[in-house]
Each structure stands twice: as structure tokens, then as C-alpha cells.
Amino acid sequence: MATLSKNENQSYFASHEFQQLRNRINKFLGFGLLTVIAFFMIMPYVWVVSTSLRTPAESFTVPPEWIPVDFDVSNYEEVFEEIPFWDQMANSFIITMSVVIGQVFTASLAGYAFARLKFPGRNLIFWIVLATLMIPGQATLIPVFILVTRVLGLGDTLGALIVPSLATAFGTFLLRQYFLQIPDDYEEAAMIDGANQWQIFRRIYLPLASPGMAILAVLTFNAKWNDYLTPLIFMNTEERFPITLGIVRLQGYMGTGSISVVLAGIVLSTLPVIIMYIFGQRYLLEGLQVGGLKG
């Protein structure tokens, strides 16, 4: 065959050794990029943790020490003294979990409908949904505030931070794209097997879109946990604050120079998200593998 005879008088650059060398260099460069970026992603937080464990007076010593030597926990004690820490953590959990469950539910239904079901006005409605994604959150803040406090009577309650966030244009768009990437052969096969429309959605498409749902859940958890502008406007009672507002309150201490207390607060408020992520990552991983669309 033509290709075989070509292979016989190949140059070094087409040789097996060169291919191997090239693969090895590519692999080395690839790992190099992965590791350099990883270093820059983790370094600032290491600095935050080590500085939060030092006395305020030493927090700006030069050269910066990366490994905490003092283990001075007084900054952390001060966090518990300044804000009702546990109440605020519980509030953050209730708000965040409610919104995550609500959004995954509504977005998987709507995403499927926009991707796979035909109904009159589908494209127009989808465009309206997308258009809402483009509305700056701050633009609707004042009317939403009036609606939630005066019409719904939810002012200064956790509901004020949950109810307006149950529907999501972002999640709908994300899951629509996942449903679109699934080949429609599955649907025809299921129809031939006698599955009804609900079963096609529930048994075939929904499991295949689970990477998208897992990703939406993790991203929503994190966005809601870290939101601080909305609670700042809706909440008045300190015991009903989510933890981000507590941290904002600590940041007031920046002026007095207690940087290490602020950083201790940042570390504490971040821990639950990190723990959630470590648990969520497993589902994320499984979801990614299950949804790999293998045959």
C-alpha cells in the first residue's frame, strides 16, 4: 500500500522516536502550564491563611512568611465576638440550599422544553428568557425591593433572598445547551420502545444532562453564598444576616488596621463552601462521567 511504502523511507522527523520525543515535550509543556496556573491560583489564599494566624502587628512583615509560625488564634476569637457567627452561617445555608434546589428543578424543566420540545412561540420566549440574562441585576434592584417588601411582605426575612431567585435564565440557558448536545437518536429509539413523553425526559434526557445539573448546582451554591449586595439591601436584623454581611461588617475594621481579623473572617466564611465543594466535586465528577454520552 502507498502509505506503507512511504513509511519505509521516512525522515527522522516522521520517525517513531521523534513522535515520542514530541509527545513527551508536549506533555511536559502541558503539565508545566497546568502547574504554573495552579500555583498562582492557590498562592493568594495561602497568604490569607498564614496572615490570619499572625498577630495584627506582624501582619505586614517583609519578607512575607508563607508558613504560619505564630498560630495566633486571637483574630478568629475576635470574629466570634464581633458578629453572631453561627446564626449567620445557618442563614446562609438555608438561603443557599433553597435556591440551589429550586433552580435545578425549574431550569432542567425549562432547559429541556427549549431544547427538545416544540411549541408555539418557543424561540420568541427563549429570546425573552435570554434577554433577562442581560439585565444588570442592579437595574431591577429598586423595583424588586419595593415588590418584595411592600407587595409580598417579605422584607427582612430569609424569603426575600430566596423567592426572587428560584427561576434562572442562566441555568435554563446552560441546561438547554446540554440537552442540545445530546443526539436525538436516543429519543427515536425510546419512542420505538414505547416510552411516553415524560419517560423520555425523566429516564433518558435528564440523566444524560446530569453534568449540567451538577455544574449548575455548584455554581448556584457558590453565587448565592457569596452574594452580598442583595442581602445588604434587604436585611436589617443582624441575626438574620447571611455570613457575607457579617464579613462586610468586619471589613469595617480595615480602617483600624486589623487586617488579620478581616482575613480570619474571610477564612471562616469560606470553609463551608470549601467543604460543600469537596462533597459536591464527587457528584460533579460522577455526573461528568455518566453524562459522557458514551454509546
Partner 1 sequence: MTTATYDEKPKRNAIARWLAADTMNGIKRQRALMGFLFIAPTVIGLLIFIVGPMLYSFVLSFHEWNVFRPPEYVGFANFERLAGDSRVFVSFKNTFILMFMTVAILEVLAMALAILVKRLTGGLLGYFYRTVYFFPVLLSGASVAVMLGYMFHQEFGVINYYLSQLGMEKIPWLTSSNVVLITIALTTVWRNLGFTFIIYLGGVSALPEEILEAADVDGAKGWRKLWSITIPLLSPTILFATVTDVIKMLQFFDEPFIMTRGGPGDASRTVVMMMYDSAFGNLELGYGSAIALVLFAIIMIVTGIQFYLSRRWVFYG
Q: In the window 231-260, what residues touch partner 1 (CB under 8 A)?
A: 244, 247-248, 251, 254, 259
Write out the three cell numbers for 135: 439585565
Query: In whole angstroms, how close is the CB of 190 to partner 1 at the nearest point?
Result: 12
Site string for partner 1, 161-180 (x = CB under 8 A): --xxxxxxxx-xxx--xx-x
Contact of 148 with 163, CB cutoff 8 Å:
yes
The C-alpha atoms of residue 284 and residue 93 are separated, in whole angstroms, by 20
Among 153, 252, 257, 292, contact with partner 1 (rule: CB under 8 A): 292
The candidate with the shortest Cα–Cα distance to 270, out of 37, 34, 71, 52, is 52
Among 25, 69, 73, 128, contact with partner 1 (rule: CB under 8 A): 128
Q: In the window 40-69, what residues touch partner 1 (CB under 8 A)?
A: 40-42, 44-45, 47-48, 60, 62-64
Query: In whole angstroms, how close is the CB of 111 to partner 1 at the nearest point?
Result: 9
Query: In whole angstroms, how close is the CB of 17 to partner 1 at the nearest point?
Result: 16
Query: In whole angstroms, how close is the CB of 100 to partner 1 at the nearest point?
Result: 14
Q: Which residues of 94-133 are buried (b: 16+ CB within 10 A; e: fewer)?
A: ebbebbbebbbebbbebbbbbbbeeeeeeeeebeebeeee
Query: In whole angstroms, how close is the CB of 236 to partner 1 at the nearest point?
Result: 16
Where does this chain touch partner 1 (CB under 8 A) — which range of 8-16, 71-79, 125-133, 153-161?
125-133
Where does this chain touch partner 1 (CB under 8 A) — which range of 8-16, 77-85, 93-101, 113-121?
113-121
Dihedral over Cα of 109, 110, 112, 113: its sign: positive
Q: What is the CA radius of gyration of the chain?
A: 26
Q: How many CA atoms lie within 13 A of 26 on its CB side?
A: 6
Q: How many residues bind partner 1 (CB under 8 A)?
A: 107
Q: In the window 179-208, what residues touch partner 1 (CB under 8 A)?
A: 180-181, 183, 196-198, 201
Nearer to partner 1, 201 or 241 (CB): 201
Among 25, 38, 73, 101, contact with partner 1 (rule: CB under 8 A): 38
Q: In the window 255-284, what residues touch partner 1 (CB under 8 A)?
A: 259, 262-263, 266, 269-270, 273-274, 277-278, 281, 284
Nearer to partner 1, 216 or 240 (CB): 216
Nearer to partner 1, 100 or 262 (CB): 262
Write out the three cell numbers for 198: 415524560
Interaction between residue 83 and partner 1 (CB under 8 A): no
- Phi/psi for 15 (5° steps) reads -70, 165
Q: How many CA atoms lie within 13 A of 128 on its CB side?
A: 4
Q: How many CA atoms lie within 13 A of 207 on its CB side?
A: 10
- Phi/psi for 193 (5° steps) reads -75, 0
Q: Which residue has the cell 498560630?
A: 71
Query: In whole angstroms, how close is the CB of 240 to partner 1 at the nearest point?
Result: 18
Q: Which residue has the cell 498562582?
A: 40
The C-alpha atoms of residue 262 and residue 254 are separated, in whole angstroms, by 7
